[in-house]
């Protein structure tokens, strides 16, 4: 008597979030794939249908032109490479700054840990737009840094920092640093201190046990942190748009321009498909790592 | 000992790096001068001007509305997803389900935004729904916020003592009753945290909203973005400072609530031991 209702409940509990995510997260990728094979058209919506029924004939029109365009035009290549370069270097810098920070928090007093953690988390709840905007005022030609340097007599002419790749690096590291610190902390705080004590008893110096015990044990946290930074930064739009200059080529910005400025939805879709192909390995890595952490295996 | 002090130094340096730019932004929002980089004395005129800006105020209203309904829906969906991930170890498609829950956390927003828009366009051609506007922004926000809620809530669900739920079931309570009367109250703090997080994430989002919004559904970040593109402006400094203030207040509230909950728990433990 209880069994059918239990099954129905179980199906509902699984089904509702499953269907929502399948409908609004998985299915849209199929749409992107489909549109990437259509041609742009001046119409609403601005693309041609792949399958048409004209004169008693079923026509299937698959257009590979968008992908050919991406392959032939050097601009898109440079944009993909630019995104990958900026994302890799920023991820590394975030790791180098974020690891010591997370380590210090995990070693702090318990009540202080909560406060420090909130201080790290607070920026992630603030719009990236606003935090990037704050840097626009600081880096601009007559901004704080240039005024300070000129006032101190280090430079006679303002440095062009805003609208350059340097500004993009500063903005990306600034915006994504918390996403590196949080998973690293979550991992480091779970470590068993007796391991380090045992190592010390056996004569290991602190620096030795740090590299041989702490770092290998925090592998899960390092992977999670790096993926949380790297993957979204590859597609980042706001930071290169506001802080970058004309020479800053990133794929998120190019996709945005194709979609909003050129109204070329099929090319934008093809760009998205290629970006997904590049990111599929990191995303799978992240998902597997998350699944492990979710199940509590470390 | 030496390494410890190095990491502490990095921590304070990192926190300064995170907070100094925001502090500077807030200070400059009180700048009387119209030239953003020249200090002209303290003034509140940019704040006063905000409330006369009806376009901006309308955008604030729309953003708050979307954020509220996003928080409600994301907490519901995210909690269900967290329950499935932590309590139902085996069913067909579980790996896919886990992937669908965690992938939105890292998926670049331009991809999610574009793909959702294409879906909405195809759907409205097929079945005439949804029309692009606040509803579509709400769907987009709910989808990625429920992933965040699922992560927060499942962390809490895993810590829970399963024996309490099992005891209630042994005493004859139906699963849904156990869930509502026992599980939900125990995970309530993480539900609140997840809800606040979704509210904030929805309020902040620019990219998804830009893709899926329709005419007349400009949200606050979209308004700010179109102004910011043209350079730094004193009014924007004021709006940004107000948002920073709101976020810090919420953060403080979360810290205060969690500290009180912790104190109550310790006190209850002490009383239980003394009794």
Answer yes or no: do B193 and B71 share one domain. Answer: yes
Question: Residue B173 falls within a domain, yes or no?
Answer: no
pLDDT tops 80 at residue B94: yes
Check if B128 contacts A (Cβ < 8 Å). no
Q: Residue B266: what pLDDT?
A: 82
Query: Which residue of A lies nearest to B86 if distances are taken between CA atoms?
Result: A295
The C-alpha atoms of residue B198 and residue B71 are separated, in whole angstroms, by 5
pLDDT tops 90 at residue B12: yes
CATH number at residue B110: 1.10.3720.10
pLDDT tops 50 at residue B115: yes
Question: Residue B81 falls within a domain, yes or no?
Answer: yes
Answer yes or no: do B137 and B269 share one domain. Answer: no
Average of per-residue pLDDT across B29-50? 80
When CB atoms are compared, the residue of B7, B110, B143 closest to A100 is B7
Distance, CA of A78 to chain centre:
19
Answer yes or no: do B193 and B88 share one domain. Answer: yes
Core vs surface per residue A205-239: b (16+ CB within 10 A) or e: eeeebbeebbeebbebbbbbbbbbbbbbbbbbbbb
Check if B119 contacts A (Cβ < 8 Å). yes
Question: Residue B245 falls within a domain, yes or no?
Answer: yes
Answer yes or no: do B116 and B197 share one domain. Answer: yes
Contacting residues of B for A256, CB less than 8 Å apart: 110
* Enclosing domain of residue B78: 58-161+188-231
Question: Residue B242 falls within a domain, yes or no?
Answer: yes
Check if A103 contacts B (Cβ < 8 Å). yes
Check if A22 contacts B (Cβ < 8 Å). yes
When CB atoms are compared, the residue of B86, B114, B200 closest to A272 is B114
pLDDT per residue as tens digits for the range B200-209: 889 989 999 9
Answer yes or no: do B199 and B243 share one domain. Answer: no
Provide the ipTM.
0.88
- A:185-244 residues touching chain B, CB 8 A cutoff: 206-207, 210, 227-228, 231-232, 234-238, 241-242
Q: Residue B212: what pLDDT?
A: 95
Contacting residues of A for B15, CB less than 8 Å apart: 101, 116, 119-120
* pTM (2 d.p.): 0.89
When CB atoms are compared, the residue of B97, B232, B244 closest to A126 is B244
Q: Residue B1: what pLDDT?
A: 45
Q: Residue B2: what pLDDT?
A: 47
Answer yes or no: do B228 and A181 touch at CB < 8 A.
Answer: no
Range from A29-43, A56-70, B3-17, B30-44 carrying the lowest mean pLDDT: B30-44
The rounded radius of gyration (Å) of the Cα atoms in chain A is: 25
Q: Residue A298: what pLDDT?
A: 39
Q: Are A242 and A136 in contact (CB under 8 A)?
A: yes
Query: Which residue of A lies nearest to B20 if distances are taken between CA atoms?
Result: A134
Question: Residue B67 falls within a domain, yes or no?
Answer: yes
Question: Residue B179 falls within a domain, yes or no?
Answer: no
Q: pLDDT averaged over chain B?
A: 87
Answer yes or no: do B156 and B240 share one domain. Answer: no
Answer yes or no: do B195 and B272 share one domain. Answer: no
Check if B80 contacts A (Cβ < 8 Å). yes
Question: B200 or B69: whose pLDDT is higher?
Answer: B69
pLDDT tier for residue B222 given thresholds of 50, 70 and 90: very high
pLDDT tops 90 at residue B54: no
Answer yes or no: do B175 and A9 touch at CB < 8 A.
Answer: yes
Question: Residue B204 falls within a domain, yes or no?
Answer: yes
Question: Residue B41 falls within a domain, yes or no?
Answer: no
Range from A7-11, B124-128, B245-249 carrying the lowest mean pLDDT: A7-11
Distances in whole angstroms, Cα of residue B15 to Cα of each of A123, A156, B12, B18, B158: 11, 31, 5, 5, 31
Answer yes or no: do B71 and B106 share one domain. Answer: yes
Strands (E) across chain A are located at 51-54, 57-60
Q: Per the structure, how many domains does chain B have?
A: 2
Answer yes or no: do B194 and B120 share one domain. Answer: yes
Answer yes or no: do B135 and B84 share one domain. Answer: yes
Low pLDDT (below 50) residues in chain A? 1-3, 297-298
CA distance B106 to chain A (A): 6
Q: Residue A2: what pLDDT?
A: 45
Check if B1 contacts A (Cβ < 8 Å). yes
Q: Residue B76: what pLDDT?
A: 95
Answer yes or no: do B73 and B133 share one domain. Answer: yes
When CB atoms are compared, the residue of A147, A178, A259 closest to B114 is A259
Q: Residue A295: what pLDDT?
A: 64
Q: Residue A276: what pLDDT?
A: 92
Answer yes or no: do B154 and B109 share one domain. Answer: yes
Q: Could you tell me the domains of chain A?
A: 65-294 (1.10.3720.10)
pLDDT tops 50 at residue B194: yes
pLDDT tops 60 at residue B154: yes
Q: Which residues pair with A53 in a beta bridge?
A: A58
């Amino acid at each position: 008597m209880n069994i059918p209702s239990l099954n129905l409940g179980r199906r509902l509990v699984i089904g509702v979030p499953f269907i929502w995510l399948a409908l609004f997260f998985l299915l849209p990728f199929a749409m992107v794939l489909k549109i990437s094979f259509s041609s742009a058209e001046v119409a609403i919506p601005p693309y041609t249908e792949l399958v048409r029924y004209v004169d008693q004939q079923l026509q299937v029109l698959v257009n590979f032109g968008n992908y050919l365009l991406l392959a032939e035009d050097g601009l898109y290549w440079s944009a993909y490479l630019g995104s990958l370069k900026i994302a890799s270097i920023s991820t590394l810098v975030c790791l180098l700054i974020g690891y010591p920070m997370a380590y210090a928090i995990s070693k702090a007093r318990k009540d202080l840990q909560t406060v420090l953690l909130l201080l790290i988390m607070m920026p992630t709840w603030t719009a990236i737009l606003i935090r990037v905007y704050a840097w626009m005022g600081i880096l601009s030609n007559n901004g704080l840094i240039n005024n300070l340097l000129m006032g101190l007599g280090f430079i006679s002419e303002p440095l062009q920092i805003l609208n350059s790749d340097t500004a993009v690096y500063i903005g990306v590291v600034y915006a994504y640093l918390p996403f590196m610190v949080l998973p690293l902390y979550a991992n480091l705080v779970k470590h068993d201190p007796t391991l380090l004590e045992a190592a010390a008893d056996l004569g290991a110096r602190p620096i030795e046990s740090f590299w041989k015990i702490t770092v290998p044990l925090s592998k899960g946290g390092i992977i999670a942190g790096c993926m949380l930074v790297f993957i979204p930064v590859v597609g980042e739009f706001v930071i290169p748009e506001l802080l970058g200059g004309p020479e800053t080529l990133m794929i998120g910005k190019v996709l945005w321009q194709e979609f909003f400025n050129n109204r070329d939805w099929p090319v934008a879709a093809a760009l998205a498909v290629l970006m997904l192909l590049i990111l599929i390995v990191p995303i799978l890595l992240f998902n597997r790592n998350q699944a492990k952490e979710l199940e509590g295996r470390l | 000992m030496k390494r410890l002090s190095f990491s502490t130094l990095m921590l304070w340096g990192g926190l300064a790096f995170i907070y100094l730019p925001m502090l500077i932004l807030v200070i400059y929002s009180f700048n009387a001068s119209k030239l953003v980089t020249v200090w002209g004395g303290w003034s509140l005129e940019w704040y006063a001007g905000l409330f006369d800006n009806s376009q901006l105020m309308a955008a604030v209203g729309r953003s708050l509305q979307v954020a509220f309904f996003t928080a409600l829906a994301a907490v519901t969906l995210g909690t269900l997803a967290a329950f499935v991930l932590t309590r139902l170890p085996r069913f067909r498609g579980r790996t896919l389900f886990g992937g669908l829950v965690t992938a939105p956390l890292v998926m670049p927003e331009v991809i999610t935004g574009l793909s959702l828009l294409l879906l909405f366009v195809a759907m409205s051609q097929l079945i005439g729904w949804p029309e692009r506007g606040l509803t579509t922004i709400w769907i987009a926000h709910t989808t990625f916020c429920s992933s965040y809620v699922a992560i927060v809530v499942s962390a809490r669900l895993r810590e829970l003592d399963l024996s309490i739920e099992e005891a209630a079931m042994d005493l004859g309570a139906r699963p849904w009753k156990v869930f509502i009367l026992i599980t939900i109250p125990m995970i309530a703090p993480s539900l609140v945290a997840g809800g606040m997080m979704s509210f904030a994430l929805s309020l902040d989002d620019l990219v998804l909203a830009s893709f899926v919004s329709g005419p007349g559904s400009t949200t606050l970040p979209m308004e700010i973005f179109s102004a910011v593109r043209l350079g730094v402006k004193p009014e924007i400094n004021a709006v940004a400072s107000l948002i920073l203030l709101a976020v810090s207040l919420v953060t403080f509230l979360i810290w205060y609530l969690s500290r009180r909950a912790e104190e109550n728990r310790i006190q209850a433990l002490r009383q239980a031991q003394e009794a």
